[in-house]
Amino acid sequence: MNSPEENPEDYSPSPEEVLWVPESEAGRRLDQVLALLLPQYSRNRLQSWIRAGQLWLDGEVEREPKRKVRGGESLALLAVPDQETLAQVPEDIPLNIVYQDEALLVLDKPAGMVVHPGSGNWSGTLMNALLHHDPALAGVPRAGIVHRLDKDTSGLLVVARSLEAQTDLVRQLQARTVKREYLAVALGRVERDGSVDAPIGRHPSQRIKMAVVPGGKPALTHYRVLQQFAGATLLACRLETGRTHQIRVHMAHLGHALLGDPVYGRSPAGLPPFARQALHAARLGLLHPLSGAPMSWEAPLPEDMRQLLEALEHA
């Protein structure tokens, strides 16, 4: 169903490429049913193929993703891979697995690893590594990834190994019951514990950046002072929400950008150089998606941040 040499003009599906709409899905939208039957593709990708005339419904081209199905129809999709879909292939990349069972796995992501394939990063990602580690994840949307870490942020990340587990973990994230605590080195002397409750959205003029902006999505970060240095502070930051770059944006908003942050910070003289934002996802807690039992994990500081703290102590 996904031969890149074929095109809608001469495509004729073979019998094994034909899917059937389950009777139980009567009344649902066509794109929703297709996403259920072909979970390896994103909804946006499926919608674009439908609009391009690459879907046959009962032998006729159908271009409307919102069309309601009655159940029992035949479907045939010419899924021509583009760079995005071709990038979602297994790659033998080592993973530091902290925990694994039939429902989920928890890993300690190294700094420098991109989570999802995207512009400029079509290989070598966490998704590629997961598909090699567990080929069954090809049947779970986004290979089971339910939350992200920035490329240069290290630490704990949970992956669902089934659609049931993924649905439950997403609900936990939405309900804010997943506990995530980060260790961060902020510039300047942070005097006391506190919280930042400020909405985050796209920066109004610098589109690669996020910012605290009116009308942004609600974002809440709690922070505790762990250790003060000359010109920097070690913080424990706990997320209530999971906005893009949340800790980095909130601390910069307070005037305490993270040491080494190339987007929101600076490299002040007198402090040890650091090649990335000093941010590590150190603790993760959630309810097991099958048993409901509370579980938690910790990841030690990576070597570069450990050396950074030693340098700050002796500065």
Phi-psi region of 122 (alpha: psi -120 to 50; beta: other; left: phi over 0): alpha
Query: Would 224 be classed as within a structural domain?
Result: yes
- The reported pTM is 0.74
* 245 located within any domain: yes
Q: What is the pLDDT of residue 84?
A: 61
- Whether 120 shows a pLDDT value over 70: the answer reads no
Going by pLDDT thresholds of 50, 70 and 90, the confidence category of residue 137 is very high
Structure confidence by residue, pLDDT tens digits, 69-111: 999 999 988 876 666 665 678 999 999 999 999 999 999 999 9
Q: Is residue 170 part of a domain?
A: yes
Q: What pLDDT is attached to residue 89? A: 84
DSSP string, 36-87: HH-TTS-HHHHHHHHHTT-EEETTEE---TTPBP-SS-EEEE-----HHHHH
- Comparing 61-70, 105-114, 260-269, the range with the smallest average pLDDT is 260-269
The last residue of one of the domains, among 81, 104, 139, is: 81
279-287 vs 154-160, strand pairing mode: parallel
Q: What mean pLDDT is reported for the chain? A: 90
Greater model confidence, 236 or 55: 236
Mean pLDDT of 302-309: 97
- 101: its two tokens: 């069972």
Of 51-60, 187-196, 220-229, 285-294, the least confident: 51-60
Q: Look at residues 29, 54, 81 and tell me which one is the last residue of a structural domain.
A: 81
Number of domains in the chain: 2
Task: For residue 37, give its domain range.
Answer: 15-81
Say if residue 40's pLDDT is above 80.
no
* Same domain (yes/no): 35, 117: no
The answer to whether residue 8 sits within a structural domain is no
Q: Which of 37, 57, 81 is the last residue of a domain?
A: 81
Out of 31, 108, 134, 150, the active site residue is 150
CATH number at residue 122: 3.30.2350.10
Q: pLDDT confidence of 31, banded at 50, 70, 90? A: very high
Looking at the structure, tell me whether residues 64 and 183 fall in a common domain.
no
Taking residue 192's Cβ as centre, other Cβ atoms within 10 Å add up to 7
The pLDDT of residue 311: 96
- 126 and 48: one domain? no
Same domain for 278 and 185: yes
Give, for 183, the enclosing helix (H) or strand (E): strand 179-187
193 is a catalytic site residue: no
Query: Are the C-beta atoms of 144 and 100 separated by less than 8 Å?
Result: no
Q: Rounded distance, CA 94 to CA 130, Å? A: 9
